[in-house]
Amino acid sequence: MDSKLESTIQYSLRTLDNSIAVNELIGKEISMLWSGVIYCSKCAKVTKKSFGEGFCFTCFSSAAEASPCILHPELCEAHLGKGRDLEYEERNHNQPHFVYLAATDKVKVGVTRVTQIPTRWIDQGASSSIILAETPNRYLAGCIEVALKDFYTDKTNWQNMLRNFQDESIDLEDEKWQVHDELPSDLTQYWIENDEITNLNYPVLEYPEKVSSMSFDKTAQIQGKLTGIRGQYLIFDNKNVINIRRHTGYEIEINEVS
C-alpha cells in the first residue's frame, strides 16, 4: 500500500491498471479473494511461494532489493562500490540516509533513505517520530543504529501497534538527547539539531483488544467489515488483521459486499 501524510493518513492500493483509495472502504464490508497465483515482484514470473517481500527464490537470493543490508544497514558496501547491483546500490544506498527514533508502545531506532520519510514511519505504524542524524550513505546510518541498539530495539511489536498500545510517557526529544552522548565520537558529526516531532494519525474506527493474523496462504478468501488501517495492516471488525505488504505479488480481487 502507498500512503500519504495528511491530518489522517491516506492509503491507496496499487493494482495492475490503477489504484484503490483504501480509506474509502473503511466501515464497509469487503471481500478479498486470492486466485492462487503469485507473481515475483522483481522478475514478474509466477512463483509457488513468496520470499521476503514478494520475491521468487532466485530473485530473493540475487536481487539488490533483497540484499542483507536491507535488514542490516551496517553491512552495506555501496560506498565501497560493491553490491549485488551497483546501479541500484548507487541510486538507493549510496545516498543520504536518516537515523530516527519512532514511538509506539516502546521507542525503536531505525534507518531509512532521506526520500523515504515519512513513508517509512507510516509503514511501521509509528505514532510519532524524530530524526537523530543524517549520513551520506546507508552504511554510516547503520553504524549509528548499531551503536544505539543497546538502548533501543530496532523492531516494532506489531501486535501492540495494532492494539494501539502506547506509552504516553515517551518524550522523543528527551530520548534523542539522552543518547547523543552515547554515540562514538566519529559519528557525532552527523547529528541533527532539529528536534521536530512528526505525529501520525491512522484511519482506524476501532482498535481491537486482541489481534489474529490472517494469510492468503491459509485461506483464499478474507471477508469482513474493514475498521481501520495502520502500518501495512488492514484491520477487520472480527479482530482479524492482514499484512498487505507480506502479500506483495499475490493476485487478489477486492470487492465491496452489498
Residues of the domain holding 125: 2-256
Q: Per-residue pLDDT tens for 186-238? A: 999 999 999 999 999 999 999 999 999 999 999 999 999 999 999 999 999 97
Total domains in the fold of the chain? 1
What pLDDT is recorded for position 85? 95
What pLDDT is recorded for position 14? 83
Is the distance from CB of 106 to CB of 167 less than 8 angstroms?
yes
Residues 6+ apart with CB under 8 A from 152: 101, 106, 107, 108, 109, 179
C-alpha closest to that of 92 among 116, 108, 60, 109 = 116
C-alpha closest to that of 257 among 217, 221, 209, 224 = 224
What pLDDT is recorded for position 46? 97
Q: Per-residue pLDDT tens for 78-129? A: 999 999 999 999 999 999 999 999 999 999 999 999 999 999 999 999 999 9
Residue 165 CB-density burial (10 A; 0-12 exposed, 13-18 middle, 19+ buried): middle
Residue 113 phi, psi dihedral angles, 5° rounding: -65, 145
If you search the block for the grid coordinates 491512522, which residue do you land on?
202
pLDDT over 90 percentage in the chain: 91
Residue 101 and residue 152: Cα distance in Å, rounded? 9
